[in-house]
Structure 1
Amino acid sequence: MDRSKNIIQQRTFALALRVIQLVEYLEKEEREYVLSKQLMRSGTAVGALFREAEHVESKKDFIPKMSISLKEANETKYSLDLLAESGLVTKEGLTQLQEDGIEVIKILVSIVKSSKNNV
């Protein structure tokens, strides 16, 4: 397996797990359901879409899947930023998760750009 694929698989899976834990906290402790559901959808979709993209039939099909994964990563980061600014969760408590989201976005941007250049 390609090393970069392994890294993004690990990072997207770890991001999804941490999002699940955050959503559980938001729902149980803060009674916040709207933003938490959106965060759950986008935060777990990033890795799921990457995994789907691994098994497409052509590079032409790969790029749209990866682009959607990138969009979901951006949406996840936006939701995390909203939570940090809303005061529902301390900014310090979200710092690492936000940084993880940024790293995933950077990797996905790189994959999408290089894939487009190699079509």
Structure 2
Amino acid sequence: MAWASFLMVNCPGPKENILRNKSFRFAVRVVGVHQHLTTAKREYVLAKQLLRCGTSVGAMIREAEHAESKADFIHKLAIAQKEINEALYWLELLEATDYLTPPQAQSLRADATELLKLLISSLKTAKTVSRH
């Protein structure tokens, strides 16, 4: 079984990969936030933390597409789950310290939360499938 095909199970389009697409769009948004924080707010440390974890989610999902085994596939998705959870932390902190407005932070958190839920669901399914 190609692990990438597992990611496409229950997706509406014939070749649409929801996790891949949403994680990429989230990464693009995070890059934009990083640019905003470093140019307009002159905030570099928190911005870089968000950039690292926010862009690594999609990278780990891409790596999972070519996993060497079921265990490797699950491991890579688990790392993506940890990274999106970390991104949620940095978004909360950026809002609490007034680097992001509540609407900006809420919009990004909504996308991150959706990704987290998709990853949790995918991991549960992958673990169930791997037991059989």
Where on the TM-score scale, by shorter chain, does this alignment land: which range? over 0.9
Cα offset for 1:55?
0.3
TM-score (ref. length: structure 2): 0.86
- 2:27 and 2:106 map into 1 onto residues whose CA distance is 16
- 5+ long unaligned stretches in structure 1: none
- 5+ long unaligned stretches in structure 2: none
Q: Give every structure 1 segment of 4 or more consecutive aligned residues whose post-TM-superposition deviation is greater than 3 Å.
A: none
- 2:22 and 2:129 map into 1 onto residues whose CA distance is 24
Q: Select which of 5, 16, 34 maps to 2:45.
A: 34
Letter matched to residue 68 of structure 2: E
Higher share in helix: 1
Cα offset for 1:88?
1.2
- 1:85 and 1:109 map into 2 onto residues whose CA distance is 26
Residue in 2 that maps onto 1:11: 22
What are the Cα deviations for residues 6-43 of structure 1, in whole angstroms up to 9, with x where unaligned?
11111100100000000000000111010111100000
TM-score (ref. length: structure 1): 0.95
What are the Cα deviations for residues 81-103 of structure 1, in whole angstroms up to 9, with x where unaligned?
11111111111122111100000
Q: CA RMSD in A?
A: 1.3
- 1:88 and 1:69 map into 2 onto residues whose CA distance is 25
* 1:65 maps to 2:76: yes
Instruction: Describe the SS at the equivalent of 1:88.
Output: coil
Q: Select which of 100, 103, 127 maps to 1:89.
A: 100
How many residue pairs get aligned? The number is: 119
- 1:10 and 1:103 map into 2 onto residues whose CA distance is 12
- 1:6 and 1:118 map into 2 onto residues whose CA distance is 19
- 2:52 and 2:69 map into 1 onto residues whose CA distance is 26
Rg larger in structure: 2
Q: Select which of 57, 64, 67 maps to 1:46.
A: 57
Letter matched to residue 38 of structure 1: Q
Residue in 2 that maps onto 1:114: 125
